[in-house]
Amino acid sequence: MKDITLQGITAPVLTPFCKNGEVNTEEYARLIKYITGCGIRGIFVGGTSGEFVNLRTEERERLLAAAKEAAEEEVTVLFNVTAMNEYELYHMIEWAKKEGADAVSVTAPYYHRYDEKALCRYFGKVAEAAEGMPVYLYNMSGMTNNPITPMVLKTVAEQHRNICGVKDSSMDFMTLLSYQVAMEKMDFELITGNDAQVLPALMTGAAGGIIAVASVFPELSFSIWSNFKEGNIEAAKASQKTVLQIRELFRSVMPTIAHKEALKLKGFDMGPSRFPFRDLTEEEMRKLKRGLVNLGMIKGD
């Protein structure tokens, strides 16, 4: 199995669309080069911020192909293979292998509620199908309604050695700490998915963060990690504070679409929103732009 790490900051790449509604792989590649040109050495393809639930299977495949072509060799490419049926799940894993993804990620199944036994079986099937590839579980309990408990995590990681990490986007810091206790005797990477908790997570032993703000302001996001590693905690705190303020601004408008509109303000052609999302209103756009100007992230008129 390839020896990889998601240590540091990984950016979940947002998905641009053409005017006709199709995925814009050219702009996607340009966005990846922008992100990785600021020090970030990990990208997450087709995650929540990448709107995987709103994409067709072939569109998710095209994003991975574009990412592998655009990313430099030293950039770790993590691909989300989440699917709600075995055929599509196995197909996405095989595509990840074919295109040379460095690792795959998978959320818990969603819509229906499942017990721990069913979740262990689900993740076990993913690990078996992805044999030879690192697998990172993705705890997005607020969206799936099926939390990955510390017991589930420990059980499947002990049974399948290619399950080597977890991204925790529960927004509950106690969940990350509980994972830490459960996995303390294993070589296992704990990654926060909460923009607001990167520095606290690092200070308690997490390996890094996969955060949406990093896809818009990669240099700022990376500076949390770089300052932390260099022991410049006050500087890391300042960067974390600004990331938190940006996160709150985006969430006060509409997450994902606000992120994409911010990228438009930075010169990227992110295109129209993909159904069932909607475009921002003029008032929302003014609020977003004013907020980013006040934070010093973009220039005013």
What mean pLDDT comes out for the span 96-103? 97
**pLDDT by residue (tens digit) across 150-198?**
999 999 999 999 999 999 999 999 999 999 999 998 999 999 999 999 9
Domains of the chain by start residue, with CATH? 8-230 (3.20.20.70)
How high is the pLDDT of residue 1?
63
Percent of the chain whose predicted confidence (pLDDT) is above 90: 97
- The whole-model pTM stands at 0.97
How high is the pLDDT of residue 196?
96
What mean pLDDT comes out for the span 81-99? 97
**Res. 199: pLDDT tops 90:** yes
State how far Cα 68 lies from the chain centre: 16
Q: Give bridge partners of residue 148 from the DSSP assignment.
A: none
Mean per-residue pLDDT of the chain = 96
pLDDT range class, residue 4, cuts 50, 70, 90: confident
* Span between the terminal Cα atoms of the chain, in Å: 51
How high is the pLDDT of residue 299?
87
Contacts of 266 (CB under 8 A, 6+ apart): 216, 298
What mean pLDDT comes out for the span 60-79? 97
Q: Give bridge partners of residue 104 from the DSSP assignment.
A: 79, 135
What mean pLDDT comes out for the span 228-245? 98
Cβ proximity of 31 and 13 under 8 Å: yes
The answer to whether the bond into 12 is cis (omega within 30° of 0) is no
Contacts of 148 (CB under 8 A, 6+ apart): 108, 119, 137, 139, 141, 166
What mean pLDDT comes out for the span 256-261? 98
How high is the pLDDT of residue 12?
98
How high is the pLDDT of residue 3?
78
What mean pLDDT comes out for the span 198-224? 98
Pairing of strands 8-12, 103-107: unpaired
Beta strands in 141-258 (DSSP E): 163-168, 189-192, 208-210
Rg value, the chain, Cα: 18
**Res. 23: pLDDT tops 70:** yes
How high is the pLDDT of residue 294?
97
How high is the pLDDT of residue 185?
87
**Res. 20: pLDDT tops 90:** yes
What mean pLDDT comes out for the span 275-300? 96
pLDDT range class, residue 220, cuts 50, 70, 90: very high
What mean pLDDT comes out for the span 88-115? 97
